Structures are given as C-alpha cells and as structure tokens.
Chains A and B, each alone.
Chain A
Amino acid sequence: MVFLFTVIFTAVLIIQDTVQVARVQKERTLKYTFLGAQDLAMCPDGSFIVSDKLDYRLLKFDRGGRLVAQTGRRGDGPGEFRGPGPLAVREKAVAVADFASHRIHLFTSDLAYVRSFSAPGAVLDLAFDTHGSLWAAILQNASRDNLVKLTSEGRVEASISLRHATSDFFDNMFLFDIDAQSTIVVLYRFVNRVEMWKTDGSFVRSFEISGFPAKAPRKRLKENLTVPEDDIFSALCLDNAETFTVLTGEYTVSPRREVFEISKTGIPVRLAVLPAKSNQVIHGPGNRVLSIENDRTTLTLYRLNWQR
C-alpha cells in the first residue's frame, strides 16, 4: 500500500513538474538535549519556546540557541504540568496545553506564570488570532464543535462546527493555525482533508491535498478498537497568505522528512526534504525551519535555498 502511494505520489509530482525544490542546509543543532520535546513556537523577537512533555517544562531559547528561561515541574498546581504539549505564542503571552489534565496555562513571554483554566476537552492544538484571542482544537466525543475560541478565563466564546468531523476519535484529530488575514487552516492528521474558515465563523473552502492518500489505513489494536496505522500529516504552520506548510507523515517517498508548502487550493508548490526524520517543524527567521528531531530529543535549524 505504501509502495502504491509512493508510486502515485512520485508520478503526480513528475506530471505536475511545478514543485520548487529546496536545497537544505543544516545550520546548527541546539546543544540542549530534550527528554521529549512536543511543540515549539517562534516569538516575534526571534527567540523560541519549546514544551518538553517528558521533562514537564517550558523552555525559552534566544535566537542564538542559548537557554534563557525555563519553568514547570510535574504536578497539578499553578505552573505545573502533567505533560505540556501544544503551544501558542503572541507578543507578550504564551499559552500551553496540558493534554492529560485538559488545562491551558498562560505565561508571559519570559515564562512567568499568569493563570490556568480548564479546556472543554483534551487540547490538540492552540493558536492566537490577530486580535489576541486564543483558539483551541478540542478533542471531544459526540461533538462537531471542536474548534473553539476561548476567553481569557477559559469560557467558550465561539465555536466552529467542522464539516468533516465524525464520531471517530482518530478521524477527528486535527491541527490548525491562523494567518494574518484571520484565516484558520484546519488540517486533519489521519484523513487527507483541509478546511479553511474565517475567525468570524464563515466557511471559506475545503479540499484534499494532491498526491496523498484519502485516509490512513487502519489496524486493529484491541477488540472493537481500530486505529490508523500512521498519520498522513504530522505538523502544520502558516507563514504567508498564499500557502501553508505541512510536515508529511508516513505516506510519502521520505516519511516525516518532507516539508511541503501547499497552495490554498491543495496543490504542493514547494518541497524541502530534511536530512533527518522530524517530529515537528516551524518556520524560522528568513528561509529557515526549526525541526524537532531524533525522537524528540534535539532541535535543529535548517536553511532552505529554493531552486527550480
């Protein structure tokens, strides 16, 4: 099956012949070793924040890669985590979700604790919109309103009923990000489907990304429990209004190494193949990407030199 996908995918790329490919140059790997880096986010000043789920910490590094602040330990008290995961950053605020406890913690940009509140369910992803409101992807059974806008106290202020949400736990798992034009891009992890919405709740469009399977094949884990074998997409980030960036999952020529820029009609337009498997990528300063690698223990900065 994987072979078939690979052949089809390669064929589509060859036929289209419009994908711009990057020469990837490794700039540096952070000297810090993580226990299980889960997410990372770039601050406006070029510094970046990493959530280390297995170390129960948030860590801030300056643009030179030096550790400048850290906070957190295991627990349920203020500023304590059961496993910090998805992150969102804006000028002076950092939000981090604790997957197991369903709590969202707010910190200043220097990682000083501000407050926490409970989310309506497990939080899969977080993002701030241009007005500073916090949005969360919530995993809740029997509800399609999985994309919610939260007040600073954690109340649901608005919600979006996603069009491809189903009753299946895994098929509902999605990533999202919000661009400067207040467009929300929703990317399902195990189903090849993108939905675009405006933050005012109006639907823009929905499409598949060319060259990827429609749905991840499933395997049976326990009686009455089938799960996807692997994800189709493992990370999403937005950099400009025309495209969005995805890190591919297992169903490509180079699994977890391909970083695609996708047009907002679903066509891959640029491709960078990282030298190592990545767990998460974000855009760095200039034509760079930051990648969590080596089983979530290292962070590497790559420069992408685009060429035809």
Chain B
Amino acid sequence: MNAESHFQTVGKILRMALGGIFLIAGVAKLPELSAFARTISDVTHADADVSLILAVAVVTCEILGGLALLLRFMVVQATVLLSVLVCSFLWILVSASFQGKEIQCRCFGILNIALANRYEILLDLVLFNLLAVLALISLPRKKEAGARGQRWIFGALVALLLFLQYSMFGDIILRRRAVQTSDLGPVISFLKALNHPFPTSTEGNRVLFLLHFPDFNCPPCFESFLKTQDIVWEEMGEGAGHRVLAMFKSGGNSSDPERLYQWAERTGLHIPILVAPDSLFTVLHFEKSGVFIVSPSGTTLFSDFFPLEDRRMNSFVRYLESDYGSRR
C-alpha cells in the first residue's frame, strides 16, 4: 500500500466520521430548535427572531455539510463551511468562558450530551483539526519530485497550528488559572468618575463584590456572601476599607439605598457599599452576585459567583493571604 492509498483510507474514515457527527448533531437539534435558539440568544444577546434564524442556519449548515461529506460531494467546500461553523462555536464558548459563564449549548439536541464548556472547546478544536486534515487530503495533488519536502512543510504547519491552539486555549481547557469572569473596565471607569479610591489604590490586592439584592433570597448565596465579607474584613482590617467595595445593582426599586443601608446595619456589614446603575451590570453581562480579587495592576486574580464551593473559598482565602501574609 503506497502513501496515496494511505491518504485515501484516512480521508474516507474522516469523511464518514465527520459527516456522521455533523449530520447527527444537526438532525438531533431539529426537535429542540427553540431551545438551541435560546442558547444563541443568551450568548449573543440577539433578539428571539434573529436567534431563531441563526439556529435554523446553523442546523441547515450542519445537515448539508454532513450529507456532503458522507456523499463525497464538494468535500473541500463542505469542510470549509463546517470549519467556519466550528470556529463560531469556539468563539462563543471562549467568550462565555471569559465572562465566567457556563453555557448549556445543546449542541447535540435531543441526544442530551451535556459537556462542560472546556470539554466542548476541546471537542471543537479536535473537529476543527480533523476538518483541516480532511480538507488538505481532499485537495487535488500533483505528483512532483519534491513530495518529501512538501510533507516536511505540511508537518511543520500542523505542529505550528497545534502549538497556536495550545497557547490560545490550553489555559482554559486545563484550568491552570482563574478565568476572568468579566472585564472590570467599566466598573473601574465608573468608580474613577465618582473619585472613589478603589480604582487608584496601589497598596495591594483589592476585593470587589458585585451583588444583586434579589439573590439574597437564595439562602446559600446570602450566607456565602456574608461569610466571604467576614473573611475579607478579618484579613484586611478596617484600614483597608478603601480597597474593599460591595457594589449593588439598583434593580429598579428593589435595592433602593435606604433599604440597603438599613439591611447593612442590621446585618452588621463591615464593608463599604455602593448602589450602581443597572446599565453597568448590563455592560458586564453580569447576572449573578459574585466576588473578585483584583491585583494592584488591575488583573483579576480570582472571580466566582455565590455560593462559593469550599474548594473555591479555599482558593479565595489563599489569594487574600498571599498578598497580606508577608506584611503581617
């Protein structure tokens, strides 16, 4: 068996496997099209009609692309189409990860295969690479004397592509660092406009709570917030009050300042509180109460939603202690 027939066998296997996966994914989404459209709407913030159109387009591409691969019809064009689709999935998943969101993508519709987002990213990367290999195999080739040299170039390109993907997505997939829940830039700008000392402090790490008052109807969230603020106060003390802030979403009338200050007094809340406009939270796509640790340089070192699991609470305390341990 020569190299050409090896390529043909690999190409055939890839065509059948990828075609099957995309066809199944597309068909399985049909009965749950509205749920898939809602996922698109959640992520892209498009309105319902646009999301439904996008959902139909995605499903159509998947079915047609899958069929084209299976029937060996316009294979290169089909792989390009499906690669674009996979790249858009990757973009959505990575954006969600950087916003600290876990989205239920419903990518396999009624088959109900629910993977964690980082595994979805890994799966999409694998699909993207396999599509790329299939496209290369399917391109018409000329038999030339320099075939050996071309193979080296091809190998080097593949290695470079894999390295780039590893650099871009490795941290998310391997969870080697805290994923930033959101870009806090708008918050910092808002506080600077108020001449608040929080954004300009360079003494050490800062702790920011972003809170929705209605979340306090969830008892574990409420207790987790109180426990966290107790820990922060114990670690940082009164002198560091300007580096700790709890910002509340105004939520219409639901957290009017008077109610909030009354509640803070009754609770014995130590940390300073501030009511911020809803629009600020909208810009952040921030939908749940959470806590952030921001380094003096403005990097988000830790972020999570309430309630914090024990493991995350331990990480939170480690970040706090790592900053202040040397000075105690």
Using a CB–CB distance below 8 Å, which chain A residues touch chain B?
1, 33, 35-36, 38, 53-56, 73-74, 82-83, 85, 99-100, 122, 217-226, 294-297
Q: With contacts A83-B222, A221-B305, A295-B254 known, is A226 near B104, CB below 8 A?
A: yes
A36: chain B residues at CB < 8 Å are 216-217, 263
- Cβ of A220 and Cβ of B219 under 8 Å apart? no
A53: chain B residues at CB < 8 Å are 216-217
- Cβ of B35 and Cβ of A54 under 8 Å apart? no
- Cβ of A35 and Cβ of B263 under 8 Å apart? yes
B104: chain A residues at CB < 8 Å are 218-220, 226
Q: Give A152 Cβ to nearest chain B Cβ, in Å.
A: 25
Q: Give B212 Cβ to nearest chain A Cβ, in Å.
A: 11
A218: chain B residues at CB < 8 Å are 104
Q: For the complex, would chain A's binding face be called helix, strand, loop or mixed by DSSP majority?
A: loop
Q: Give A201 Cβ to nearest chain B Cβ, in Å.
A: 29
A99: chain B residues at CB < 8 Å are 219
- Cβ of A1 and Cβ of B223 under 8 Å apart? no
Q: Give B292 Cβ to nearest chain A Cβ, in Å.
A: 16
Determine which of A56, A223, A297 lies in contact with B117 in the assembled complex, contact meaning CB atoms within 8 Å: A223
- Cβ of B305 and Cβ of A224 under 8 Å apart? no
Distance between Cα atoms of A38 and B219 in the complex (Å) = 11
- Cβ of B118 and Cβ of A223 under 8 Å apart? yes
Excluding A56-B267, A223-B118, 11 further A-B contacts by CB distance (< 8 Å) are: A1-B34, A1-B38, A36-B216, A36-B263, A54-B266, A82-B223, A85-B219, A217-B35, A219-B104, A223-B116, A223-B117
A100's nearest neighbour on chain B, judged by CB, is B223
Distance between Cα atoms of A83 and B102 in the complex (Å) = 29
Q: For the complex, would chain B's binding face be called helix, strand, loop or mixed by DSSP majority?
A: helix
Interface residues of B in 263-312 (CB under 8 A from A): 263, 266-268, 288, 305
- Top 3 A-B residue pairs of the complex, sorted by shortest distance between their CB atoms: A220-B104, A99-B219, A295-B254
Can you give 18 A-B contacts (C-beta < 8 A)? A35-B262, A36-B217, A38-B217, A53-B216, A54-B266, A54-B267, A55-B266, A83-B219, A83-B222, A83-B223, A99-B219, A219-B104, A222-B102, A222-B305, A223-B116, A224-B116, A296-B217, A297-B259
Distance between Cα atoms of A122 and B305 in the complex (Å) = 21
Distance between Cα atoms of A297 and B262 in the complex (Å) = 13
B263: chain A residues at CB < 8 Å are 35-36, 54-55
Q: Give B130 Cβ to nearest chain A Cβ, in Å.
A: 25
B227's nearest neighbour on chain A, judged by CB, is A100
Please count how many residues in chain B sit with their CB below 8 Å of the partner chain's CB atoms: 29
A-B contact count (CB 8 A): 66
Distance between Cα atoms of A36 and B216 in the complex (Å) = 9
Distance between Cα atoms of A35 and B267 in the complex (Å) = 11
A226: chain B residues at CB < 8 Å are 104, 114
Cβ-based interface call for B253 (8 A): yes
- Cβ of B214 and Cβ of A100 under 8 Å apart? no
- Cβ of B222 and Cβ of A295 under 8 Å apart? no
- Cβ of B103 and Cβ of A220 under 8 Å apart? yes
B260's nearest neighbour on chain A, judged by CB, is A35
Distance between Cα atoms of A82 and B288 in the complex (Å) = 22
Q: Give B271 Cβ to nearest chain A Cβ, in Å.
A: 15
Q: With contacts A54-B266, A55-B263, A73-B266 known, is A122 near B35, CB below 8 A?
A: no
A222: chain B residues at CB < 8 Å are 102, 305
Interface core residue of B34, B114, B262, B266 (most chain A CB under 10 Å): B266
- Bitwise, B75-112 to A at CB < 8 A (1) or not (0) is 00000000000000000000000000011100000000
A296: chain B residues at CB < 8 Å are 217
Distance between Cα atoms of A36 and B253 in the complex (Å) = 13
Distance between Cα atoms of A73 and B266 in the complex (Å) = 7
Q: With contacts A1-B34, A73-B266, A222-B305 known, is A100 near B222, CB below 8 A?
A: yes
A3's nearest neighbour on chain B, judged by CB, is B34
Interface core residue of B102, B114, B214, B262 (most chain A CB under 10 Å): B102
Distance between Cα atoms of A251 and B251 in the complex (Å) = 22
Q: Give B307 Cβ to nearest chain A Cβ, in Å.
A: 10
A225: chain B residues at CB < 8 Å are 102
- Bitwise, B173-208 to A at CB < 8 A (1) or not (0) is 000000000000000000000000000000000000
Q: Give A6 Cβ to nearest chain B Cβ, in Å.
A: 14
Q: Give A106 Cβ to nearest chain B Cβ, in Å.
A: 20
Distance between Cα atoms of A23 and B263 in the complex (Å) = 36
B117: chain A residues at CB < 8 Å are 223
Distance between Cα atoms of A225 and B262 in the complex (Å) = 34
Q: With contacts A1-B35, A74-B267, A100-B223 known, is A220 near B216, CB below 8 A?
A: no
B213: chain A residues at CB < 8 Å are 295
Distance between Cα atoms of A33 and B259 in the complex (Å) = 9
Q: Give A61 Cβ to nearest chain B Cβ, in Å.
A: 19
